Amino acid sequence: MNFELSGEDAAFRDEVRAWFADHREQIEHTRAVDWEAGGEAFERYRAWERALFEAGLGAVTWPVEYGGRGASMVQQAILNEEYTLADAPNRINRLGLGLLGPTLMVYGTPEQKARHLPRILACDEIWCQGYSEPNAGSDLASLRTRAVREGDEFVVNGQKIWTSLGRFGDWIFTLVRTDPAAPKHKGITFLLVDMHSPGIEVRPLIQIDGSARFAEVFFTDVRVPVANVVGRVDDGWTVAMALLGFERGGGLYGPALFNRILRDVVELSRREPRGEGVAADDPDVRRRVAQSYIETRVYELTVQRALTRLARGEAPGPEASLNKLYWSEMKVRLDELALDILGPRAELGPGSPQAENDGGWYGDYLYARASTIFAGTSEVQKNIIAQRVLGLPRE
């Protein structure tokens, strides 16, 4: 047992840290706008992705043959930590880089790999994920978007929802039903669709924070070449679950973010007036701050245990559900603590002179509320833990 980085990993950390320091200006320039505004703002984020790509930091765990540097999961975690510490911009192509890319490497045809992997890496193609539908959320396999084969093409009709980056996507990887007569997990096909195809309509969805980071995507007689099927026709569930494995394996959410939020919460409690003094004098606040320290510290340690296993080549298993359940629920508690420390001031939104951080704590809190829903709700994670870790019987 030791907590020192190996020489190689320490060198990698130093390289990454130095690179971020050298790109301070570009980081600030990019973060000065929100990609959601579109146009030039979005292009700043694309330029940032290209800078990462050119530095060999775009997709470090991708194998060298696909343009990555074959870095380990530990190095990916180091990069994630440095990324957070550098306050670097949100990644606009993480769905392509983190999910579709690795899936194509396993299930894609040589043509699909040659066509898409370099464009994902260079951020020439922005990818969206077309899984959820209005009536297929946690019960994903009940999806109803249809694809009917006509010669060398599929004709797609239906609707996807909660599509992140939907307004900006060039391509979308979708699950479509190709055999309605088969049991629901069969008869699904994993299909790559060009979002510039005729018959695709994207409608922005305004979220509870007022932004439009996701969208609905409607398909009306959209023609897609059969060559865009990943894996076998009617066997898309296998590919979909493999992709989910990459999402969970790569999704060891970086502890640095939570450590920083905690530091900010402590700082807030030291100066927020409470009675005659400040919030930090209140024993209830102190107790909750201490509990938040405990939870963030234990999270960091648990991630280090998981990384040790991944570094040995053990595949990420259903334990990933424990990780997601832990951090998403902890994040809500952290943000709730910040709002409670602010008291009535917490509800003051952007533009209010008395708002703390221009209402940012409330925005973070709202986003945290999404994290217990997306990528498998807390309830779905608990089902997975109960059935696949504890071995309890299905209903």
For residues 8-27, b (16+ Cβ closer than 10 Å) or e, as one string? Answer: ebeebbebbeebbeebeebb
CB 302 within 8 A of CB 324: no
Helix (H) or strand (E) holding 161: strand 153-164
Q: Does 371 bind other proteins (CB under 8 A)?
A: no
- Footprint (CB under 8 A) of other proteins, residues 178-237: none
For the bound state, the minimum distance from the C-beta of residue 395 to other proteins, rounded and expressed in Å, comes to: 5
Amino acid identity of residue 41, one-letter, is A
307 binds other proteins (CB under 8 A): yes
Residues 6 or more apart from 261 whose CB is under 8 A from it? 296, 331, 334, 335, 338, 364
| Residues 218, 203 contacting (CB under 8 angstroms) | yes
Token reading at 47 = 């330029």
β-pairing, 277-278 with 273-274?
A: antiparallel
Q: Segment contacting other proteins (CB under 8 A): 27-35, 235-243, 306-314, 356-364?
A: 306-314
Distance in Å, CB of 371 to other proteins, minimum: 16
Phi then psi dihedrals of residue 200, to 5 deg: -100, 130
Nearest residue (CB) to other proteins, 130 versus 255: 255
Q: How far is the CB of 15 from other proteins (least distance, A)?
A: 17
**385 contacts: CB under 8 Å, gap ≥ 6:** 318, 321, 322, 325
Contact present, 126 and 164 (Cβ < 8 Å): no
Pick the stretch among 123-131, 308-316, 345-353, 362-370 that binds other proteins (CB under 8 A).
308-316
> Which is closer to other proteins, CB of 309 or CB of 345?
309
Site membership for other proteins, residue 315 (CB under 8 A): no
DSSP lists the bridge partners of residue 129 as 173
Q: Which x/- pattern over 70-109 shows residues binding other proteins (rule: CB under 8 A)?
A: ----x-----------------------------------
In the numeric block, the tokens 């779905």 are attached to 380
By the rule CB under 8 A, 26 interacts with other proteins: no
Q: How far is the CB of 277 from other proteins (least distance, A)?
A: 12
Residue list 228-287, contact with other proteins (CB under 8 A):
266-267, 270, 280, 286-287
- State how far the Cα of 26 lies from the Cα of 127, in Å rounded to an integer: 23
Of residues 64 and 390, the one with the C-beta less far from other proteins: 390
Verify binding: residue 373, other proteins, rule CB under 8 A.
no
Active-site residue numbers? 247
Q: Which of 290, 343, 347, 360 binds other proteins (CB under 8 A)?
A: 290
Exactly one of 50, 186, 309, 345 binds other proteins (CB under 8 A); that residue is: 309
Closer residue to other proteins (CB): 308 or 352: 308
Phi, psi of 346 (to 5 degrees): -60, -30
Q: Residue 156: phi, psi to the nearest 5?
A: -105, 130
Residues 105 and 114: beta-carbon distance below 8 Å: no
Binder among 204, 293, 369, 370 for other proteins (CB under 8 A): 293
The DSSP symbol for 206 reads: -
Positions touching other proteins (CB under 8 A) are 1-6, 9, 74, 266-267, 270, 280, 286-287, 289-291, 293-294, 297-299, 301-302, 304-305, 307-309, 311, 322, 325-326, 379, 381-383, 385-387, 389-395
